[in-house]
Amino acid sequence: MNQQLQNLLTELEAFGGANDASTSDRSQRMLNITHDTGLFLSFLVRTSLAKRVLEIGTSNGYSTLWLAQAAKSVGGKVTTVELSDTKVELARTTFGRSELADVIDLFHGEAGQFLASSDSESFDFIFLDSERSEYLAWWPEIKRVLRRGGSLVVDNATSHAQELAEFIALVSSLPDYVSVVVPIGNGEFIATHSSD
Ligand SMILES: C[S@@+](CC[C@H](N)C(=O)[O-])C[C@H]1O[C@@H](n2cnc3c(N)ncnc32)[C@H](O)[C@@H]1O
């Protein structure tokens, strides 16, 4: 990773930490993934050679940068979905300051609608970090748009284990998925569609 991107990530980490500590209003918080989680996502995208990456929940674009630099390194790109007008503006600024804007498509809209309008098996890798209460409802479409052999990563698997319990139990119970919770950052639930 180049120094300019490292500096931008460090700046966003400081901004997110200070901002989130200063407000209890969830809509004003950045709620960024941890640095370790960024490294982990980068590792997964690179090793799986995932070219078509989807992120649900952009916020100000911190996690998108991790996904984008990894996707770019394997010749891919990231589509990221965000509902909030304010967050979309912040993310646009973030992407404009990076050298990754050419591999990021920012979709300003509701994730459920985005998923429903996406083609089947159109993504190799999906990172889910959004409104947790919606995940169960979104699952049939997530399952449809993730290609066979593709991977789903869900943040907050340990920090909000109770809220994700039903979703994780459902995906873990499916015989055609292999899944595990990895204790990195806020806990990452990973599921991959096995083709055997
Ligand atoms: C936890 S934050 C994402 C943090 C980001 N992934 C990061 O680590 O930098 C969740 C984001 O999901 C967005 N969101 C909530 N409900 C949504 C929906 N139905 N469709 C799209 N985005 C949504 C919120 O506005 C918020 O910015």
At residue 194, the pLDDT reads 81
**pLDDT level of residue 193 (50, 70, 90 thresholds):** confident
Q: What is the mean pLDDT of residues 57-64?
A: 98
At residue 196, the pLDDT reads 60
Q: What is the mean pLDDT of residues 114-136?
A: 98
Alpha carbon distance 107, 82 (integer Å): 6
Q: What is the mean pLDDT of residues 100-119?
A: 98
Residue 57 bridge partners (DSSP): none
**pLDDT level of residue 1 (50, 70, 90 thresholds):** confident
Of 83, 88, 115, 135, the residue with max ligand 1 atoms within 8 A of its CB, to mutate for a pocket test, comes to: 83
Tell me whether strands 77-82 and 104-108 are parallel, antiparallel or unpaired: parallel
- pLDDT, tens digit (0-9, with 9 covering 90-100), for 12-42: 999 999 999 999 999 999 999 999 999 999 9
Which residues approach ligand 1 with their CB closer than 6 A?
Answer: 31-33, 57, 59, 62-63, 81-84, 87, 110-111, 129-131, 134
Q: Cα of 132 to ligand 1 centre, how many Å?
A: 10
At residue 145, the pLDDT reads 98
């010749």: which residue's tokens?
Answer: 75
At residue 195, the pLDDT reads 65
| Chain centroid, CA 70 distance in Å | 13
Residue 192 bridge partners (DSSP): 151, 178
Strands, E assignment, 9-145: 52-56, 77-82, 104-108, 123-128
Q: What is the mean pLDDT of residues 147-174?
A: 97
Q: What is the mean pLDDT of residues 42-50?
A: 98
Q: Which residues contact 61 (CB under 8 A, 6 or more apart)?
A: 12, 80, 90, 91, 94, 95, 104
Q: Which residues of 53-75 are buried (b: 16+ CB within 10 A; e: fewer)?
A: bbbbbbbbbbbbbbbbbbbbeee
Average of per-residue pLDDT values in the chain: 96
The pLDDT of residue 148 is above 70 = yes
Alpha carbon distance 31, 90 (integer Å): 13
pTM metric for this prediction: 0.97
Parse the chain into domains and list their residue ranges. 32-193
Which is the closest atom of ligand 1 to the Cα of 110? 20
Fold of 32-193: Rossmann fold (3.40.50)
